[in-house]
Chains A and B, each alone.
Chain A
């Protein structure tokens, strides 16, 4: 085989790797830009062109008025919405995957529909309800909306995990003198925990990131972080927005990375 042919076949064999890495680069490119531009000192109000390296925004992350309050509100909403939807979503997921009952199919459909509905429809319909009932929109209505659209994702994620568990494990627990409640807490729950964790993480990300549904149900005086970014984008987003974006991105990687390392170490100690 000639060298050219060899090289060609090597490239062919690893084509999928190159393609995969390119796509990954496409996914990560905007984040890289966000990180880089968090060190920019823009020439004027618009942070769209590179001007000068500076730590200004990092040293004064709350320097843009109202932004840190918006981040705080978004975090509060995301945490509370995640807690509520994880608890009620997990309960529903267990009911759907461990029991046979009448109306199961329609329940599954009801869980699926919010995921199949565009956000703009969900947001607007919820607003018509609030308007019809004379409810003032604000942080409570945002919270209600966030729990509503995250709970389906929690149910789906947890259900998939529970469905993959061997039912013989619960039977083995019952066989070994564990009451249904004990079997749940000692066997089923710890085994479903990764799914519950994934569902909670997804709920948090969806809630913290949401703009469309939130914007419909926020009212005039409430502002979440995505709403802040949106309105700032109209007049030129401050560099601090990129700082928050960078912190969230690196924070997520760190948390998941640490969780993985701890998990790996635990497995090693057990071995």
Chain B
């Protein structure tokens, strides 16, 4: 028969030593952390130091707490900064607007075509994005279908009214740059949105309509809040690279649409004013981190990507 062994309560207590390796995670992490430390953190520190130096490539650089590099960067290039963030914001909103229905369609309405559709969203990645951006040049050219349709339907005049176009020509305009940015980063928006929406239980929508919510209300009160993690990571994955991008601005825009990436690239590789270039980079990075921090806080999501 089973019995409770009555033994004295505070019997000899044997403490078990924790032998499960505390070193295992460290060993597993070491290579990746080392790599990121040496080739990401160290360069960032190096960039920070560079941004406070004075001198030139020929005479050499000395560290002089040269904060005027930052003042110089802001004074000379604030229009490019503003334009970069403006274009990136606009492109992000467009990708969200376009990506949401596509992600919903793939997640809940595509049936057995789901995998094929996902492949089609990702596949363009494998064609070099420069080639695809060049294809936009063909699509948006004056003789192209898009230009004709836009002119005939009055979209061109509309875009001129909001300031995204200055002439009849689509290429070499803010419109072309924003459209190119939106196009380039659309898959980065669709995939996290899809991941969020796919997990969403459609019975919740039924429950919402059972509780007297109309279609619009069940979207705003049920679907949208539950898809927020996807929205947050999608917008971040779009906004951050778009703000620093300059390929679209260079290939699809003109001199009036130049973005900050172009300036940094030029200062580093052509003008070779390293301290100014470093200061520009740091302002861009710092601004993005602050904006992202504020955004994540207001969205209330801790979990990233």
Interface residues of B in 123-152 (CB under 8 A from A): 123-139, 141, 143
- B39: nearest chain-A partner, CB-CB: A148
Q: Is A7 an interface residue (CB 8 A)?
A: no
Q: Could you tell me the distance in whole angstroms from the C-beta of B293 to the nearest C-beta in chain A?
A: 10
A169 lies within 8 A of chain B by Cβ:
no
Chain B residues with Cβ below 8 Å from A253 are 119-120, 123
Are A245 and B128 in contact, CB atoms less than 8 angstroms apart?
yes
The interface residues of chain A lying within 8 Å CB-to-CB of B247 are 211-212
Decide if B106 touches A20 in the complex (CB within 8 Å).
Answer: yes
How many residues does chain B have at the interface if contact means C-beta atoms less than 8 Å apart?
85
Given the interface contacts A23-B101, A120-B265, A216-B269, does A126 sit within 8 Å of B39 by beta carbon?
yes
Asked if B284 lies at the interface with its beta carbon under 8 angstroms from chain A, I say yes
**What are 28 A-B interface contacts by the 8 Å CB criterion?**
A30-B136, A49-B143, A92-B28, A94-B28, A95-B28, A101-B22, A110-B40, A121-B47, A121-B282, A124-B265, A124-B277, A124-B278, A132-B50, A144-B39, A148-B35, A148-B36, A151-B35, A205-B126, A209-B129, A211-B130, A226-B128, A241-B131, A245-B128, A246-B127, A249-B123, A249-B124, A256-B123, A257-B116
| Interface set, chain A 22-55, CB cutoff 8 A to B | 23-24, 26-31, 33-34, 37, 48-49
Find out whether the CB atom of B29 lies under 8 angstroms from the CB atom of A125.
no
A196-213: which residues lie under 8 A (CB-CB) from chain B? 205, 208-209, 211-212
In the complex, which residues 106-131 of chain A have their Cβ closer than 8 Å to any Cβ of chain B? Answer: 107, 110-122, 124-129, 131
A20 touching B101 in the complex, CB below 8 Å, given contacts A128-B274, A212-B247: yes
Secondary structure class of chain B's binding surface, majority of residues: helix
Chain A residues closer than 8 Å to B35, beta-carbon distance: 88, 147-148, 151
**Closest approach, in angstroms, between the C-beta of B155 and any C-beta of chain A?**
15
CB distance from B261 to the nearest CB of A (A): 4
* Interface status of B289 (Cβ within 8 A of chain A): yes
CB < 8 Å neighbour of A233 from B39, B99, B251? B251
Q: Which of B9-17, B162-170, B206-214, B238-246 contacts A (4 or more CB under 8 A)?
A: B238-246
* Residue pair A23, B130 in contact (C-beta under 8 Å): no
Task: Establish whether residues B123 and A116, one from each chain, have CB atoms under 8 Å apart when the complex forms.
Answer: no
The A interface is mostly helix, strand or loop, or mixed, namely: helix
B120 engages A24 (CB within 8 Å): yes
Bitwise, B263-291 to A at CB < 8 A (1) or not (0) is 01100110000100110011011001100
Contact of A118 among B37, B284, B304 (CB under 8 A): B284
Q: Kindly list 4 other residue pairs between chains A and B, CB separation below 8 angstroms, not including A116-B240, A118-B285, A127-B268.
A: A19-B101, A34-B127, A88-B31, A120-B246
Chain B min CB distance to A146 (Å): 10
B39 close to A225 (CB less than 8 A): no
Return the chain B residue nearest A152 by Cβ. Answer: B36
Contacts of B204 in A (CB 8 A): none
Taking A147-B35, A249-B126 as contacts, is the C-beta distance between A118 and B25 under 8 angstroms?
no
Q: Find out whether the CB atom of B236 lies under 8 angstroms from the CB atom of A116.
A: yes
CB of B46, distance to nearest CB on chain A (Å): 5
Q: Which residues does chain B contribute within 8 Å of A151, judged by CB atoms? A: 32, 35-36
Query: Does residue B33 face the partner (Cβ distance < 8 Å to A)?
Result: yes
Contact bitstring B1-34, A, C-beta under 8 A = 1, else 0: 0000000000000000000001011101101110
* Chain A residues with CB under 8 A of B106: 20
Judge whether A119 and B305 touch: CB under 8 Å. no
A61 to chain B minimum Cβ distance, whole angstroms, is: 14
Known: A27-B120, A114-B36, A116-B236. A248 touches B128 (CB 8 A): yes
A19 touches B123 (CB 8 A): no
Residues of chain A lying within 8 A (CB to CB) of residue B159? none
By the criterion CB–CB under 8 Å, are B31 and A91 in contact?
yes
Cβ contact within 8 Å between A156 and B141: no
Q: Does A177 contact B (CB under 8 A)?
A: no
Q: Are B183 and A27 in contact (CB under 8 A)?
A: yes
Contact flag A128-B50 (CB < 8 Å), given A34-B132, A119-B241, A216-B269:
yes
Which residue in chain A gives the minimum CB-CB distance to B304?
A112
Q: How far is the CB of A53 from chain B (nearest CB, A)?
A: 16
Contact B131 A120 (CB under 8 A): no
Which B-chain residue is minimally distant from A87 (CB atoms)? Answer: B31
